[in-house]
């Protein structure tokens, strides 16, 4: 049986979130790297797989799916054990609704605000983040701080796919934003908790790569 193929970029938080989920459930993926600076994700061949030309994209046999949260749910529900599924994406209606809420927040707000700052550096010649962009990121962290409350993880005392995805995004902010642990103590504790997980090394390595790329672009722009 062939392995699912993940088209990725090591510095991509969404792609890293998919890889973390795969590691958590013990799924081995075949990976193919795309160079976004050479626009390989916009090539005719890749656009046939994913008309949006976005990373990550998953090919599982003749089935192709993009958008990291959809990929994560698909892989977990297809390849995860019942116990893993119940832990990471519980069937309880309200718990699952909260997880979905946080995943939508990640896509529509959290990751989007990071992208709004990083994309101009990558592709628009910007020399760094704007004050407006950093303020928008702080505003998103304020929301995340409120979501966490006094919980260890986003929906309670156990890790779910919401923590996997938002953890990857939150850590990636370090490439252009320094989290204030006094202003956001709950987020800081949550991230520190995630950093103790073996699978989170994938994100920490990705962040190091991302920081290097951003710094290099700022110098060359």
Q: Determine which one of 12, 66, 165, 172 is catalytic.
A: 12
| Phi, psi for 5 (deg, rounded to 5) | -105, 125
| Pairing of β 30-33 and β 63-66 | unpaired
Provide the angle, in degrees to the nearest 10, between the axes of the packed helices 111-123 and 131-148: 150
Exposure of 134 by Cβ count < 10 A (0-12 exposed, 13-18 middle, 19+ buried)?
middle
Q: Is 2 a catalytic residue?
A: no
Which of 199, 219, 181, 204 has the alpha carbon at shortest distance from 24?
Answer: 199
Which ranges in 90-184 belong to alpha helices (H)? 93-105, 111-123, 131-148, 161-172
Residues with catalytic function: 12
């Amino acid at each position: 049986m062939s392995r699912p193929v993940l088209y990725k970029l090591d510095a991509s938080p969404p792609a890293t979130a998919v890889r973390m989920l795969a590691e958590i459930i013990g799924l081995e993926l075949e990976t193919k790297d795309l160079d976004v600076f050479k626009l390989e994700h916009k090539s005719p061949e890749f656009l046939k797989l994913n008309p949006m030309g976005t990373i990550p994209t998953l090919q599982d046999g003749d089935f192709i799916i993009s958008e990291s949260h959809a990929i994560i749910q698909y892989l977990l529900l297809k390849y995860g054990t019942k116990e893993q599924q119940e832990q990471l994406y519980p069937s309880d209606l309200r718990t699952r609704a909260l997880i979905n809420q946080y995943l939508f927040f990640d896509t529509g707000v959290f990751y989007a605000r990071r992208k709004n700052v990083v994309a101009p550096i990558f592709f628009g010649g910007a020399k760094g983040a704007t004050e407006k962009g950093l303020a928008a990121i702080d505003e998103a962290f304020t929301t995340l701080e409120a979501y966490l409350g006094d919980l260890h993880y986003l929906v309670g005392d156990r890790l779910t796919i919401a923590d996997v995805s938002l953890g990857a995004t939150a850590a990636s902010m370090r490439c252009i934003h320094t989290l204030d642990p006094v202003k956001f103590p709950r987020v800081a504790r949550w991230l520190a908790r995630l950093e103790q997980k073996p699978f989170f090394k994938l994100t920490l390595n990705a962040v190091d790569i991302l920081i290097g790329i951003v710094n290099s672009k700022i110098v060359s722009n």
